Amino acid sequence: KAADNFCCSCCMLLRMFLLGAVFRTNSSYTRWDEARKAWGLNINHTRDLNRMATEWYGNYKNQDETEFAGAATPPLSDIDLEQRAYDLKRVSLCTWAFVRSMKRHLSPPDEDEEAFVAELYERLPADQAEKIIGAVHRPNRALHDLSCSIDRLPMHFMRKNQINGALSIFEDTLGGCERLLSSPVPLVYSRHTARFLSLWLLLMPFALWEPFKGSWNHAAEIPAMTLVTICLFGIEELATQLEEPFTILPMQGFCDKIGANCDETVSWAGQGETMEVQVEPMVEQKTYSMGKPVAPKHPFMQ
């Protein structure tokens, strides 16, 4: 009877631990999911920013060829292709520099400092790379350079304002990631969960002694305890890893993808490029319904 009571007590403790483990795992996954969504917004809006800059470069007119109200600069008749390529390439590089600086800002202090410095000197002008590396808050400095590169683009200020809307989103994603980084799960919570689990697993063999008395020298208890220990400590380790999302997110891959996408986007033609659309002519056909002719339909409406 005493063994049965001890076994029931262990089962109750297991239920309590599983409830706590589920709560901890869910809260840890929420942190990871929030970090992943922030980087997803970075990927989406870097593409959008470079797309708008490429399409609107040198364009001060509406689609009906009327000038924007209050345009301070006259419409450009010809665009210097070399200058255009330089300006858009600068926007692309500054976009990449921001996300790469953000990745470095969220990583452990000594994780990729050397790689970060080498990449900046490789892709950016030396003076710009030095200013970002020497800044106290590197992402803010990179975002400042991106804002300046957008301001130099020859386009109407209303379109620049729309492009600058993406920079506000970058500030929000950066702030959200900094909040996750600076507000980790309290250490006492993680330690208490680990101690509770260790104590429960330490007492578990006594509760299983009687159920496994049918095996030779209770030998079957060893693989059973091994399996239970691996499963429960695996849940504990999973929650611990998810609590620090920036150590497991592939942020370097995100930065490389953003850089490649932006470089490709700014290489496309912008103002003056037209898309030829093949439209089938209307076919003169007459059909009859109940003895009355019916008007022909356009191919798109069929």
Which range marks the domain in which residue 117 is found? 1-61+80-268
Q: Report the distance separating Cα 293 and Cα 286, nearest Å.
A: 6
- Do 27 and 126 meet the contact criterion of CB atoms below 8 Å apart? no
pLDDT, greater one: 240 or 61: 240
Q: Which pLDDT band, with edges at 50, 70 and 90, does 68 fall under?
A: low
Q: Report the distance separating Cα 68 and Cα 86, nearest Å.
A: 26
Give the closest residue to 95 by CA, choosing from 156, 155, 139, 37.
139
**Which pLDDT score is estimated for 288?**
44
- Do 199 and 9 meet the contact criterion of CB atoms below 8 Å apart? no
Q: Report the distance separating Cα 189 and Cα 185, nearest Å.
A: 7
**Which pLDDT score is estimated for 246?**
92
- The answer to whether residue 176 is domain-embedded is yes
Q: Which pLDDT band, with edges at 50, 70 and 90, does 207 fall under?
A: confident
Q: What is the mean pLDDT of residues 136-150?
A: 95
Please tell me what DSSP assigns to residue 246: G
Sorted by sequence, the CB contacts under 8 Å of residue 117 that are 6+ apart come out as 129, 133
In degrees and rounded to multiples of 5, residue 206 shows phi and psi of -70, -35
In degrees and rounded to multiples of 5, residue 152 shows phi and psi of -80, -10
Q: Which pLDDT band, with edges at 50, 70 and 90, does 271 fall under?
A: low
**Which pLDDT score is estimated for 67?**
56
Sorted by sequence, the CB contacts under 8 Å of residue 206 that are 6+ apart come out as 6
- The answer to whether residue 107 is domain-embedded is yes
Q: Residue 287: pLDDT above 50? A: no
Q: What is the mean pLDDT of residues 182-211?
A: 79
Q: Which pLDDT band, with edges at 50, 70 and 90, does 151 fall under?
A: very high
Name the β-bridge partners of 293: 288
- The answer to whether residue 302 is domain-embedded is no
- The answer to whether residue 18 is domain-embedded is yes
Give the closest residue to 96 by CA, choosing from 302, 261, 286.
261
Q: What is the mean pLDDT of residues 139-148?
A: 95
Q: What is the mean pLDDT of residues 128-151?
A: 95
Number of structural domains found in the chain: 1
- Do 110 and 59 meet the contact criterion of CB atoms below 8 Å apart? no
Give the closest residue to 142 by CA, choosing from 181, 108, 91, 177.
91
- Do 95 and 257 meet the contact criterion of CB atoms below 8 Å apart? no
Cα 95 from chain centre = 14
pLDDT, greater one: 153 or 275: 153
- The answer to whether residue 300 is domain-embedded is no
- The answer to whether residue 298 is domain-embedded is no
Give tens-digit pLDDT for 18-61.
Answer: 666 667 777 888 899 999 999 999 999 999 999 999 988 886 65
Give tens-digit pLDDT for 73-93.
Answer: 455 456 788 889 999 999 999
**Which pLDDT score is estimated for 63?**
46
Q: Which pLDDT band, with edges at 50, 70 and 90, does 259 fall under?
A: very high
On average, the pLDDT of the chain sits at 80
pTM, rounded to two decimals = 0.74
Winning range, highest mean pLDDT, from 64-68, 124-128, 236-240, 284-288: 124-128
Q: Residue 225: pLDDT above 90? A: no
Name the β-bridge partners of 67: 61
- The answer to whether residue 222 is domain-embedded is yes
- Single-letter amino acid, residue 6: F
Q: Which pLDDT band, with edges at 50, 70 and 90, does 178 fall under?
A: very high
Q: C-alpha dihedral over 286, 292, 295, 297, to 10 degrees? A: -70
> Token pair of 211, please?
């159920």
**Which pLDDT score is estimated for 236?**
80
- The answer to whether residue 48 is domain-embedded is yes
pLDDT, greater one: 187 or 32: 32
Q: Residue 10: pLDDT above 70? A: no
> Token pair of 146, please?
């991106």
Q: What is the mean pLDDT of residues 276-289?
A: 44
Please tell me what DSSP assigns to residue 130: H
**Which region among 174-178, 261-265, 284-288 has the lowest average model confidence (pLDDT)?**
284-288
Q: Which pLDDT band, with edges at 50, 70 and 90, does 258 fall under?
A: very high
